[in-house]
Amino acid sequence: MRSIKSILIALLAITSISSASAQSLPGGFVYLRDIDPTIIQDVRYATPNNFVGRPLAGYGAGECVVKREVGLRLKAVQEELTAQNLSLKMFDCYRPARASLDMVKWSQNGRETAAERRYNPKIPKSELFRLGYIASRSQHSTGAALDLTLVDLKADNSGKYDPTKTYADCTAPVEARAPEGSVDMGTGYDCTDARGHTAAPSINPEQRAWRRRLVAAMARQGFVNYSKEWWHFSLPGAGGAAYDFPIQPRRS
């Protein structure tokens, strides 16, 4: 009897420790994988494959974290797209406030590398904040803003980014720029150029149709697109205070 009691006490202790060590998220945030694991994720700021060229502060894992309401609405969008052999692909979701400050420091370091120019072919990076391409206080930090694109599930999406390869800038034809494993929206993600504006007249009809399709699918769930970035959407009323907790690996 005493031995059974000891085992039960030990099991309770283990459960207690596991619960205490489990990842908890504040303010109604959730991991998107817990809402819909079918949505593809490529959280670029957790990797060197972004305009800064290294992981940003606060990105300890490539996980999409969102407010629960945002996640549920993304799930509804995904269900609609799945019937069309399409999928959402998330590039960025919740962004720790420290990451935005990291971007500010990057913009002020006085250097312009070739890799950085791929994302900013015509605009000096010191001008990106003034022109509204990057914000020092981002809505992403509230959990209500997202960067995303569409994936055609019937297409060959096997192309991978190769850090040793020299790619054309983000406005170049899709064959020449860095692969993103998604439909051709006319520019790459995070392209600070007029061609990256959602209604840019300089893109071709097929690219324009893909953008309209994405905007329409998101709008049906209440998401609003930012006119200077075809990839950026937010859900009005779902935000609130900005947060700065780091993104940690999700524990199953």
Q: How far is CA 70 from CA 10, 45, 55, 93, in A?
A: 39, 20, 25, 10
| pLDDT score of 124 more than 70 | yes
User: What's the pLDDT at 71?
Assistant: 98
Does pLDDT of 1 surpass 60? no
Comparing CA positions, the residue from 46, 133, 57, 147 lying closest to residue 102 is 57
**pLDDT above 80 for 67:** yes
pLDDT at 180 (0 to 100):
96
What is the rounded radius of gyration, in angstroms, for the C-alpha atoms of the chain?
20
Mean pLDDT of the chain: 90
pLDDT of 34 > 80? The answer is yes
Which position has the token pair 């400050």? 101
Can you give the residue ranges of every domain in the chain? 27-234
- pLDDT at residue 17 in the model: 32
Fold classification of 27-234 is Muramoyl-pentapeptide Carboxypeptidase; domain 2 (3.30.1380)
How many whole angstroms from its chain centre is CA 251?
20
pLDDT at site 229: 97
For the chain, list the strands marked E by DSSP. 29-31, 40-41, 65-67, 86-92, 145-152, 224-226, 229-234
- Which two tokens mark 92? 């960025």
Amino acid 23: pLDDT: 61
- Could you tell me the CA-to-CA distances from 247 to 55, 92, 191, 231 in Å, in that order? 12, 11, 24, 21
Please check if 140 is assigned to a binding site. yes
d(CA 209, CA 7): 63
12 contacts: CB under 8 Å, gap ≥ 6: none
Calculate the CA 52 to chain-centre distance. Answer: 15
Which range is least confidently modeled, 4-13, 19-28, 156-165, 198-207?
A: 4-13
Of 23-32, 104-113, 220-229, highest mean pLDDT: 220-229
Collect contacts of 76-82 with beta carbons under 8 A, ≥24 apart.
Answer: 76/221, 77/217, 77/218, 77/220, 77/221, 77/223, 78/36, 78/38, 78/39, 80/217, 80/220, 81/150, 81/217, 82/38
- DSSP characters for 209-223? HHHHHHHHHHHTTT-
Question: What is the Cα 71 distance to its own chain's centre?
Answer: 13
For residue 233, what pLDDT is reported? 98
pLDDT digits (tens, 9 = 90+) for 129-182: 888 787 778 899 999 999 999 999 999 999 999 999 999 999 999 999 999 999
232 annotated to a ligand binding site: yes
Catalytic residues: 229
Ordered alpha helix ranges (H), 32-141: 32-35, 68-82, 97-107, 114-117
pLDDT at residue 238, rounded to an integer: 87
